[in-house]
Structure 1
Amino acid sequence: MTQAGGPAPKSARQHDREIVALAVPAFGALVAEPLFVIADSAVVGHLGTPQLAGLGVAAAMLTTAVGVFVFLAYATTAAVARRVGAGDLRAAIRQGMDGVWLALLIGAAVIAAVMPLAPALVELFGASPTATPYAVTYLRISALGIPAMLVVLAATGVLRGLQNTRTPLYVAIGGFTLNTALNVALVYGAGLGIAGSAWGTVIAQCAMAAVYLTVVVRGARRHGASLRPDAAGIRACAQAGVPLLVRTLSLRAVLMIATAVAARLGDASIAAHQIVLTLWNLLAFALDAIAIAGQAIIARYLGADDPAGARAVCRRMVQWGVALGVVLGVLLVAARPLFIPLFTSDAAVRDALLPALLVVALSQPVAGVVFVLDGVLMGAGDGPYLAWAMLVVLAAFAPTALLVPALGGGLTALWWAMTLMMTVRLITLWLRSRSGRWIVTGAVRA
C-alpha cells in the first residue's frame, strides 16, 4: 500500500536488483584498476631488477597520491545522486562538472609539486642507488597523467551518481587493454625502456579521461548544464571532500602502521604480512562494490525525500554485507591450498601466513558491514562524522599495534589488532546508522 504523499515501498527483491545492477559492474571496474600496475610490472620486469624496483617505488607513490584524492569520486557520487533523486538532472550534471574542474586544479598542483621534488621523494621512499634513476624517470613522466587520473575519479563519481556503473567498467577494461598494448609497443618496440611504460600509462589514462569527459559533456549539453568552471561550486566540492580526505588519510595511516610493525617482526613476518594485506585488499574490492552501490542508492533516496526507502535499502545492504563477508571468509579458507603456493614456497613465511589468514577470514562478516555502512554514510553526505570516527579508530589502533612486538606477539597478533580496528569502525558506524542523524533529505544536504 502506498503511503500518502510518498512513493510505494520497494520489496527486498527490488532492492536486491538495484544493488546488484550497480555493484557487479562497480566490482569489475575496481578490479581493473590495479591491473594497470600489474601490467606495467609484467612488462618492465623483463628489463631487469633495477628497473622493476624503480617502478615499484614510483608506482607506490603514484598510487598513494591518487588514492588520497579518492574523495573526488565519493563526494561527487553522493552530491550528483541526491540531485538525481530530486529529479534535477541539469543540477546533477552541473555538480559533477564542479568535481571535474576541482580534479583538474588538484592535478595541476600535484604536477607542480612532484616534478621538481621527484628525486627527493624517491630517496625518501628508500630506493637503492641502482633503482633511483629509473624511479625518478617513471615518476616524472607518469606525474603528467595525474590530472587525467583525478578526472577519471571525478567523472566516475558523476556516472555512479547517475546510477551508471556500466560505463566505468567498459572504460576501465578499455584503458587496461590500451595500457598493456602501449607498454609492450613503447618499452620493446620503440626501445624506450621504463620511460615507455610510463608514457603508455599516461596515454591510456588521458584516453580514459577523454572518454569520460565526452560522456559527461554530452549529458551536460542534453540537459542544458553549463560546462564553465564555477568558483562557488568548486569550493563547495572541496569543502565536502575535506572530511573524506581526513578519513582516507587516517585509514592509510592504519595500514602504514601495520606494515611498519610487521617489518619489526622479521623478514618472514613482513613477507607473510604483504601476502595477507594483498588478499585483504582483494576481498575489499568485492565489499567496496556494495559500498559504491550504497553511496549512489542512498543519496538518490534522500534526494527524493524518501527516508523510509533509505532506511530499508540500508538494512538490505547490511544483510548483503554480512552474507558476502561470510562467503568471502569461507572461500579464503577453502582456497588457501591453491593460492598460497603462488605467493611463496618458504616454510617460515607459510607458518606465519596461515594463522593470520584465518583471522582475516573470521573478520570478513565484520568487514562486510563496515564497508556497507561506510558507503551508506558517504552517500548521505555524512563526511564529518566519518572523519571523526576514523580518527577515533586510528587512536585505538596505533597503540594496540605498537604493543604487539613489545609484548612478544607475532603476525597473528597484529592481524587480531587489525580485526579490533575493524570492530571499532563497526561500532562507530553502527551507532551512527542507528541514530538516524545521517538521514537528511533534499537535493542538497544542509
Structure 2
Amino acid sequence: MALSVGQKAGWGLADMGVNVFVVVKQLLVFTYLTTFLGVPPSVAGFVTFAVLAFDVVTDPLVGYLSDRTNSRWGRRAPWIAVGAIVLALGIVGMFAVPMGMSWQFNAIWVVAFFGVATVGFTFVAIPYGAMAGEMTQEPHERSTMMAFRMTFASLGLLTAGALVPAMAGDTREGYLRAVLLVAPVVVLTIWGMLLATRNTPRIPSAASGSFMEIVRLVMRNRAFVVLVVLYGVLTLGVALIAAGLQLAALYLMQDDGRSMLSGLAGALGVFSTLFAMFIVGSVISQFIWVRLSAWLGKTWALNLGMGLYILVLVLIWTSLPATGVTTMALLFLCAGFTNGAYQQIPWAMYPDLMDVTRAESGEAIEGAFSAVWLFGQKVANAIAPLVLGLILSAAGWQSSDSGVVQQTQSALDALKTALTLVPSGIFMVSIIGLIAIYRPVSRHVASHG
C-alpha cells in the first residue's frame, strides 16, 4: 500500500524536534562551555566524547528491545513517546548550570544532563529510524520520505541553530531562556509524528532471535557495515564544521554594515544569519537530491553532493576572515545545498539494505539496524569536538567565561583550517571509499547506482 503525502510528511515531522538536540550538541555546547563556563577547549571537546559511554550501552539495548516490544501501539511508539519527554528535560538541564561554580563543576553538570538528553534521544531516534524500514519497502518512496524528513530536520536546525543563539544573545542566562522556549517543540513535533503515522503499515510480529543472533545478522550484511563506516567518516567532517561554526562566527566573520544583508545580520547576528542561509540551501535541495538519486543512483548522487561540498569549503577557506556578510551568506547557501545530499541520501540507502537481511533471514530487525546506523553517526559526532578541541589547544586557543577574548593569529588560522580544509580531506576519503569499497559490495541493491 502506497503511503499518502500526509503520512510521509507526518513521519518527517519528528526530525524537527530531534534536530533541536542535534544542534545543541553539535553547534552550541562547545561554544557554551568554552565561552561562558570557562572550560578549556580540550576538556570541552572531551565532554561530548565522554557522553558516548551512554550510547555504548543504550543504543544496542534499545534497538534490540524495540524489535521485541509488543504493545497495542506497535513496537516503536511507546519508546518514542517517553523518549521525547526525557530528551526535552535533558536539553533544559544542560543549560541550567548553577552560577558561581568552578569550571570543573560546570563540565560535570553539563555531562550529566547531556547523558540524560542522549538517553532520551536514543529512545526516540532508533525506533524512529526503524520505522523507515517498516512503513514501506519501495526505494523511491523512501527517498521521498527522507526528503520530507530532512526538510523538517532543517527547520529544526533553523529553530535551534539560528533562533536559539539570537534569543540567547551573549549571556549564559540567555541560553537557558532560549532552550526553555524550544524544548516544547521537541515534544510536540515527535508526538505529532506518532499521531500522523498511527495508521501506516507496520510489522507487528516481534523479532524472535537472541541478542547475539540479531547482532550477527546485522553484521553479516557487509554492504550495510561498509556504509555505516563511510557515513561515519562523512559525519565526522560535517560535525567538525558544526562544532566550531559558532566560534568562527564570533572570531572570523564580522559585518562592516555596508553589505546587502547587514540589516538582517544586525537583527539576528552574523551566526544566525549565516546559519539561516545554510538551512535555506538545505531545504531547497531536498527534492532535487531525490531526482538526482533516481537519475544517477543514490551512490553517485551522494558522491556528486560531497564533491560539490569540498569545492564550497575551499571557497570559504579563501574568503576567511570575512568583513562583509553577503558573500559568506551566499557561500553558506551553497554549503547548505550540498549538505542536503549528506543529510538525505545515506538515510534513504540504509533501509534498502535492511530489506536484504529481512528477505534472507525472515527476521524483522529494523531496530537493530537503526541502532548500529545511529551509533556510527554518534561516534563521529562525539569525536569531532574532541578533535577540534585538540587542534585549538595545540594552537594556543584561550578559553573564557565572559565572552570573546583576544586570540593569536595561529589560533585563528587553526580554527579556519579545522572548519574547511580538514573536512574537505575527510569528505574525499569517503568519496573514494564509496567508489572503491561500497559499490562493489552493494551491486545487488539496484537503487544505489
Normalised by the length of structure 2, the TM-score is 0.41
Larger RCO, structure (CA 8 Å, separation 6 or more): 2
Rg comparison, structure with higher value: 1
